[in-house]
Amino acid sequence: MVSLDFLSEKDNQQAGQEVTLLKQLAHPNIVAYYDHYLAEDPIRELVILMEYCEGGELRGKIKDAAKTNPPSWLPETQIMRYFCQTLSALTYVHKMHILHRDLKSSNIFLKNGDKDVCIGDFGISRVLEGTVDAAATVVGTPYYMSPEVCRSEPYSYKSDIWSLGCVLYECCMLKHAFESENLLGLVYKIVSDRYDPIPSQYTQDLESLIARTLDKSAHTRPKGDEIMTISYVKKHMQLLDSDGSGFSGNNTVFL
C-alpha cells in the first residue's frame, strides 16, 4: 500500500512506474503481480496485490545465521540455488531492457519453506529503450553499488550483476562484501579495495564465481547469459531442472 497524498509528484510517477513494470513481468523468480487499485478513503492509496512470500527477506535469513555462535553457514547448494534463481530472473528482465538498480538481499524474498527466492521491489527500475543505452542516475543501496556507479559513470546491466555478486558474497560470509562507517569510505572500498576471502568450506568454483561477478571493471564483468555458460553454474541450473520445481535458470519460455 502506497500513500499517494504524502508523496511528491516524482514519487507518484515512480509508484505508477512500478505497477507498469510489474504488469509486464512473468517469471517464477519474480514476485508475481496480480492487480492494483486506488483507494480514496481516508487518504489516497495505491494498493498493489502481489504474490505472498512467506519466508520474508533473504537479508533476515542471513542476519539470523550470523547471530549464532559459531555462525550457521549456509550450505553451498542452497546458496547456489538462490543465486541461479536470482540470475534467471535478472537475465529475464535484462532481455526486456529493464535494469533493477536496487538488487540487494532485502529485495529478494523467500518462499516454499525458504527453498526458493523471488526478486521484488522494482520501484527504481529503469527501462532502457535500446540495448546500448546506459543509465546515469546514481541510485541503489550503497553496500551494493557497483564501482561504475560510485564513479558516477554511465552504467548498464552489468551493474545489476555486481549487485548479484554482492548478494552471493553476503550469503557466503553473512556480511557485506564492502563495509565502512561512512559513505566516502565505502565508495573507496568498492572502487579500490579487496573483499575478505570466503570460508574454506566453500569450493574454489564458488570463490571464482564471486570474483567474476565482483570484477571491478564493467568491461570484463560478465553479463547474465555469459554467467549461465560457466560449467559450475550450469551444473546448479541443471539441479533446478531435475527437481521438478519449475524454478529453473534455463526457462527459455520466459525470455
pLDDT of residue 99: 85
Q: How many helices (H) and strands (E) does the chain have?
A: 9, 8
Q: CA-CA distances (angstroms) from residue 197 to 1, 15, 165?
A: 41, 39, 14
The residue assigned the cell 547474465 is 224
Q: Determine the pLDDT at residue 33.
A: 87
For 56-254, CATH gives 1.10.510.10
AA letter at 132: V
- Rounded to two decimals, what is the model's pTM? 0.86
Torsion sign, CA atoms 78, 84, 88, 91: positive
| Rounded mean pLDDT, 109-131 | 76
> What is the residue-wise DSSP string for 138-191?
--S-GGG--HHHHTT--B-HHHHHHHHHHHHHHHHHSS-SS--SSHHHHHHHHH
Decide: 202 and 76 in contact? Cβ < 8 Å. yes
The x, y and z cell numbers of residue 143, run together, are 553496500
pLDDT at 71 over 60: yes
Res 253: pLDDT: 33
Query: Does residue 76 carry a pLDDT above 70?
Result: yes
Residue 92 pLDDT: 93
pLDDT in tens, 12-57: 777 777 787 778 889 999 998 888 888 887 888 888 888 999 999 9
Please, are residues 161 and 221 in contact by the beta-carbon 8 Å criterion? yes
Tell me the mean pLDDT in the region 124-132: 50
Round to whole Å and give the CA distance between 104 and 119: 9
d(CA 174, CA 73): 8
Mean pLDDT of 64-74: 95
Reply yes or no on whether 102 is catalytic.
yes
pLDDT tens, 210-242? 999 999 999 999 999 999 999 999 999 998 877
Q: Which of 41, 102, 121, 241 is catalytic?
A: 102
The pLDDT of residue 138 is above 60:
no
Tell whether the model's pLDDT for residue 251 goes beyond 60: no
129 vs 225, more confident:
225
What pLDDT sits at residue 54?
Answer: 95
At residue 37, the pLDDT reads 86
What is the structure's pLDDT at 2? 76
Each domain of the chain, given as residue ranges in start order, spans: 2-50, 56-254
